[in-house]
Each structure stands twice: as structure tokens, then as C-alpha cells.
Amino acid sequence: MIYCYEALDGEVVDLEFPMGKQPDDVLLEDGRLATRSFRAEGRSISTVPSNYPRESDSMGVAPSQVKEAYEASVAAGCPTQFTSEGSAVITSAQHDRALARSLAMHQNNAGWNDPVPD
């Protein structure tokens, strides 16, 4: 698996280790110490306001549909930006809920604050 490590100067490097065998700290080839970076791996412990904005592939569209999807989101009352690859850019939990409802979507493993089917 590929794991991300961040040096003290902020440089992030990707290193490959067998799953479960990755160290917490590594010594880079140039002698710098780097610590495993869950943030660089796109992982988090919990959903907190700092996890936004984030990209959603499931509420995204094909790259050729970005302009049309943006216009549709504005018309639905939930303006949403899309990346050039078509991922929806979610700016907050409220935006997540509103966009999911406008697309008639929900989370199968919804928590108390997540959109669920009506």
C-alpha cells in the first residue's frame, strides 16, 4: 500500500509498505525525518467543520456535464461547484444534505444528521 509521510519542512512523500507494516516515522534518503500524515492520505478521525470543502464523486457528474450540472444545482436552489473531473465540491454538512436531497440521494449508513429516504 502507499502511505503518505510529511517532513518537517512540509514536503509530503508517498512510500510503499506492506499493509500493517508501515512505520509511524521514516528517515528519508536525504536524511530528513518524516512522520505519517493521515491528512495527506485524505483520512480523518471524525467529521468536523475543517473537513470541508471536500469532493464527492457519488454526487458528481461526467466531465462533459459540469456546466449543465452547475446550472441544474442553481435551479434546484443548491448552487454547487464541480471540479474539472466532475466531482461535486461540498462546502458544509448543510450543503451536503441539501445537494443530496436535490438529487434524490441519501446515505445508506446515515447518522442522525444525514439525509435519509423520505
Alpha helix (H) residue ranges in 1-118: 66-75, 93-102
Residue 107's Cβ-count burial label (10 Å; 0-12, 13-18, 19+) is middle
With a cut of 80, say whether residue 68 has pLDDT above it.
Answer: yes
pLDDT in tens, 33-64: 999 988 888 765 454 556 778 899 999 999 99
pTM above 0.95, yes or no: no
* Domains of the chain, residue spans: 2-36, 49-102
